[in-house]
């Protein structure tokens, strides 16, 4: 695939406004400040579960749950239950495509009070696609698929602080096996890691309050290629900074206010000369528009979560991306229900752009199982 084809395809998959490319095209002569950052396997940063999806795709510092391994491996160890899991399903771009979907399956286990592990799989089915060559000749039909397998370890350092690490294997088969333009296409494979820190502290006062702070760098790994040539694309290495403030109105009612800041740690313009590490560190200073453009590369996710009696929840959020960097702007709504060991979450996406949006009416579903163990199941290794 040529780079522009990969860029447009990747951006389409995550719902970036295609008009941004036209506005920033050197061919059309329009504003060159429109620079969308593109990477390989963008499905890795798509929110998989309905709870965080209902909070504007924020989740770095939210209270721990069965899906914590995706958002911040460090907070998993603070989950109260001994073991559990979750499964999520999202019909993707359902407003314009009827056979594309994302699923996420995860399970966790607390080894001791200070240690927890999790195994997860994210699977992206892109539906049936008919491929054509440069002269519009048919190259055949194929059903592209991508998946990532994760193993997470989370460790409590103090009563308020924890760290976590995730190892990830990535497989992306977008084209099958064929030859076009002298290049042999093949599945792309890579390995990556996430590292996270989580801090939470109860705040004394008239009400029971809690503040949580988090920092995560995800998808640190080798570049990926779909051919045997030297052209390789960066993984979507992402910095996520998060905060959550919970306040209990009374014994039955609580609100949590959540905010995340996300930035891709890859070059604004990839000329193929940078390594993974140099691309990460230079990503804060390489934008042609200087500091002003670097700030625009941050995505802001905000949300509010209400719980009644730890049983019913309502959620609302907002996702904000600069117009020059993709122009994704949408509200999210969500509801949740918990009863004993089981739970269900649903989220719905409402674009705020005036134009028709490919992510419009996206709905996510999650089923959750979390089981409390005996005191011995979560005994501290220091006791």
- The count of C-alpha atoms lying within 13 angstroms of the C-alpha of 357, restricted to the half-sphere facing its C-beta, is 19
Give the pair of three-digit tokens for residue 203: 């705040």
The pLDDT mean for the chain works out to: 88
- Residue 152 CA to residue 196 CA, distance in Å, equals 11
Q: Is the pLDDT of residue 73 over 80?
A: yes
Residues 6+ apart with CB under 8 A from 237: 39, 217, 218, 219, 220, 221, 264, 265, 266, 276, 279, 280
Instruction: Look at residue 330 and tell me whether its pLDDT is greater than 80.
Output: yes
- For the ranges 92-101, 249-258, 341-350, the lowest mean pLDDT is seen at 92-101
Tell me the two tokens of residue 232. 């390789």
| pLDDT of 383 over the 60 cut | no
Task: Examine the pLDDT at 267 and tell me if it is beyond 80.
Answer: yes
Q: What three-state secondary structure class fits 292?
A: helix
Residue 247, strand partner residues: 209, 255
Higher pLDDT, 133 or 186: 186
Find where tokens 């460090």 sit: 74
CATH 3.40.1280.10 fits 3-378, yes or no: no
Q: Is the Cβ–Cβ distance between 85 and 66 less than 8 Å?
A: yes
Backbone angles phi, psi at 330, to 5 degrees: -155, 155
pLDDT value at residue 356: 72
Task: Between 382 and 61, name the one with better pLDDT.
Answer: 61
Q: What is the pLDDT of residues 348-359, one digit of tens each?
A: 999 997 667 788
Residues 6+ apart with CB under 8 A from 210: 200, 201, 202, 203, 245, 246
């Amino acid at each position: 695939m040529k780079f522009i084809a990969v860029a447009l395809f990747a951006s389409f998959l995550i719902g970036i406004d295609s008009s941004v490319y036209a506005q920033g095209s050197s061919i059309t002569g329009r504003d060159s400040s429109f620079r969308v950052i593109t990477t390989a396997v963008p499905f890795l940063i798509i929110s998989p579960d309905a709870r965080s999806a209902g909070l504007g795709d924020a989740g770095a510092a939210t209270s721990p749950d069965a899906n914590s391994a995706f958002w911040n491996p460090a907070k998993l160890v603070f989950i109260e239950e001994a073991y559990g899991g979750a499964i999520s399903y999202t019909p993707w771009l359902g407003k314009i495509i009827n056979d594309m979907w994302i699923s996420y399956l995860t399970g966790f286990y607390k080894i001791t009070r200070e240690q927890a592990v999790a195994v997860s799989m994210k699977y992206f089915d892109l539906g049936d696609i008919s491929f054509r060559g440069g002269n519009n000749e048919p190259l055949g039909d194929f059903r592209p698929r991508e998946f990532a397998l994760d193993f997470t370890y989370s460790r409590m350092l103090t009563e308020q602080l924890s760290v976590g690490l995730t190892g990830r294997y990535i497989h992306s088969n977008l084209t099958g096996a064929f030859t076009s333009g002298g290049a042999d296409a093949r599945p792309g494979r890579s390995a990556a890691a996430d590292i996270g820190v989580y801090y939470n502290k109860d705040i004394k006062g008239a009400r029971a309050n809690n503040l949580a702070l988090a920092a995560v760098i995800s998808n640190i790994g080798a570049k990926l290629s779909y051919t045997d040539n030297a052209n390789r694309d960066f993984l979507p290495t992402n910095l996520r900074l998060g905060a959550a403030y919970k306040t209990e109105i009374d014994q039955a009612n609580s609100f949590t206010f959540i905010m995340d800041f996300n930035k891709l740690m890859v070059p604004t313009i990839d000329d193929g000369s940078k390594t993974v590490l140099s691309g990460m560190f230079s990503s804060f200073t390489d934008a042609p528009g200087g500091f002003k453009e670097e700030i625009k590369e941050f995505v802001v996710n905000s949300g509010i979560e209400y719980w009644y009696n730890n049983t019913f929840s309502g959620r609302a959020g907002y996702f904000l991306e600069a117009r020059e960097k993709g122009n994704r702007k949408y509200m999210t709504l969500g509801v949740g229900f918990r009863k004993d060991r089981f739970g269900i979450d649903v989220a719905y996406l409402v674009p705020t752009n005036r134009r028709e949006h490919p992510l419009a009416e996206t709905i996510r579903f999650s089923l959750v199982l979390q089981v409390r163990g005996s005191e011995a199941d979560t005994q501290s290794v220091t006791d």
